[in-house]
Amino acid sequence: MTVRVRYAPSPTGLQHIGGVRTALFNYLFARAQGGAFVLRIEDTDQERYSEEALEDIYATFEWLGIVWDEGPDRGGPYGPYFQSQRLARYHEAVQTLLDAGKAYECFCSAERLAGLRSEGARDGVLGYDRRCRDLTEEQRAAYRAEGVTPVVRLKVPEQGAASFEDMLLGTVKRKYKDLSPDPIILKSDGFPTYHLANVVDDHEMAISHVLRAQEWLSSTPLHILLYEAFGFEPPRYCHLPFVTGKDGQKLSKRHGATSVVEFRKQGYLPEALTNYIALLGWSYDDSREFFALNELERLFSVEKLNKAPAVFDYKKLEWFNGNYIRECSSERLFELMRPYLETAGLLPAGNETREAAIVRNAVPLVQERLKLLSEAPELLKFLLAEITENYAAEELIPKKMDAAAAKALLNAVRPVVAAMEHYDDEQLEAEFRRLAEQHDTKLGNVMMPLRVAITGSRTSPPLIGSLRLLGTERALARIDAAIAKL
C-alpha cells in the first residue's frame, strides 16, 4: 500500500498546537513510510472563512519547515484541494446515496428543528425525529412547490453497529442507535457538511491513513457508515492522544499561548517548537529528547505513540528553546534577535550601524542566558540606551548595608574599572575580590551595586563581559551617575 496522509485544516482561525501536532505526525509518518503528505483546505464553512487564517496555515508550516507534497499552492493529481471548489463532486456523491435509498431530503424548517432540540434537551431524546425519512414523492413535490429548499440526511440504521480497528486504540465499536439520528450531509445552501466532504475527499484523494486527534473519535463510526453506504474501502485510522495542560484539561488559552503565531512572537525557534511538539504523545525511547526534523522523518512510527494524554509543559518548551538558542551560530542569533531589538527601538535598520556592531559583540554574552528571543531587548538595552532612570537608588544597596556603604563600595571600585583595559578577566575579578576583603564584605556585595550601576538591573549578563562591551568611558559615567543617585 502506498501511504498517503493529509492535513485538512479549516481556515477559520490561527493554527494552534493541537492542529500543528496532527500535521506534524502526518508529515513524519508519510516521510518515514516513503509516502505522500497532502494539504487539503476544508473551507465549506463560508461564514467563518478567513483569508488571514488561510495565510496563517501557509506561513506556519513554511516557518516550521513542514512541506506538503500536494496542496492548493503546489497542485497535484487529486485537485482541487479547496473543498469549496469540489461542490459538483459532493452533489454527485449525494445523488448516488439518494438514488440508492441511503439518504433522503428533509424539508423541516429551522424553527421546527430548534423546537426538537429544545424538547430533546428536556426529555433526553437524541437528535432528529426522522419525520421526512419516508415522505412520498408527492409530499416532496408539494414542499418544492412551496419554495422549500431541502437538506439531505443520511439514513442511519436503527439496528446494528459500526466498528473499526484503530492503529492506536484497537477495536472501536459503537451502536447505530447511539449515533445522532440521520445527520445532515448536504446543507440547504448546497455545501456539504464536514462528514460528507471528509469521506468523499479522503476516498477520491486515495488517502490510506487518517491520523487525527481523539476529539474526532466520536465522528468515525458515522464516517465508517458513509464509507459502507458508498461502497468505499475506508482508510486506516489512528486517533492521537489529547494535548492537555498540567491541570489535565484540554489545552486552551487559559493555560497560555496556543497559536503558533503567539509562540513566534515570544521568540521560540521553529526547530525547538517542532522537536517539542513531536514528543507530545510520541517517544523514540525512554531517554532521548533532542531530534532534528530530518531525524524525526526517519525515526517516527505509530508503534511508539502513547495512548495517554500528552501534557504541554511551557517550562519544558522554554528549556528546549534555550538549548536550541545555545546551538545557534553567533550570526544566526544576531539575525534572530534583530527584529525584537528593532521593535523595541534599540537597534536601527542597517547592518553596519554602531549599535549593530555592539549587538554582534554581545551575542556570546547573552547566548547562555536567553530562553526566548523576546528577552533580548531587556538583556541588551543597557548597551544600547541610557539606563540611569531605569532603577531606584535602593537597588544599589546590598542587604544589611546602607546608602553610605554602597556609595563607598562604588567609589572603591571606580579606579579598578578605570584601569580595566590593563587587566584580563581573571585579574579583574581578582581585583574585585581584593576590594571585598579590604571592605570586610562578600564579593557579591561589591559586584551587586556595580552590576546595577552598569546594567540597571540586579540580574544581567556576566558583569565583566558587560563592562568590556560598554567600554571604560561609559562604564565610569554610569558609576558616577549611581554615586550621585545614592
Q: What is the CA 14 to chain-centroid distance, rounded?
A: 9
Which pLDDT does position 266 carry in this prediction?
96
**CA-based nearest residue to 26, from 73, 66, 83, 85:** 66
Vertex 398: Cα angle to 397 and 403 (nearest 5):
30
Q: What pLDDT tens digit does each residue of the chain (486 aa) get?
A: 799 999 999 999 999 999 999 999 999 999 999 999 999 999 988 888 999 999 999 999 999 999 999 999 999 999 999 999 999 999 999 999 999 999 999 999 989 998 888 876 666 667 899 999 999 999 999 999 999 999 999 999 999 999 999 999 999 999 999 998 999 999 999 999 999 999 999 999 999 999 999 999 999 999 999 999 999 999 999 999 999 998 888 888 788 878 999 999 999 999 999 999 999 999 999 889 999 999 999 999 999 999 999 999 999 999 999 999 999 999 999 999 999 999 999 999 877 788 999 999 999 999 999 999 999 999 999 999 988 888 999 999 999 999 999 999 999 999 999 999 999 999 999 999 999 999 999 999 999 999 999 999 998 899 999 999 999 999 999 999 999 999
Count of alpha carbons within 13 Å of 207, Cβ hemisphere only? Answer: 28
For domain 388-485, give the CATH number: 1.10.10.350
Q: Let me know: does 410 contact 449? Beta carbons within 8 Å.
A: yes
Q: Cβ contacts of residue 103 below 8 Å, gap of 6+?
A: 94, 97, 152, 153, 154, 155, 185, 229
Same fold, 260-384 and 388-485: no
Which pLDDT does position 127 carry in this prediction?
82
Q: Cβ contacts of residue 363 below 8 Å, gap of 6+?
A: 330, 333, 334, 337
**CA-based nearest residue to 393, from 284, 485, 278:** 485
**Residue 485 among the catalytic residues:** no
Could you state, in order of their start, the residue ranges of all structural domains in the chain? 86-240, 260-384, 388-485
The pTM assigned to this predicted structure is: 0.92
Q: What span, in angstroms and rounded, lies between the C-alpha atoms of 216 and 165?
A: 15
Which pLDDT does position 122 carry in this prediction?
64
Cα dihedral 377/262/324/346 (nearest 10): -10
Which pLDDT does position 44 carry in this prediction?
86
The type of residue at 66 is: I
Location of C-alpha cell 558616577: 480
Which pLDDT does position 124 carry in this prediction?
63
Into which CATH architecture does domain 86-240 fall? 3-Layer(aba) Sandwich (3.40)
Into which CATH architecture does domain 260-384 fall? Orthogonal Bundle (1.10)
Catalytic residue (choose from 177, 246, 253, 316): 253
Upstream peptide bond of 80 is cis (omega within 30 degrees of 0): yes
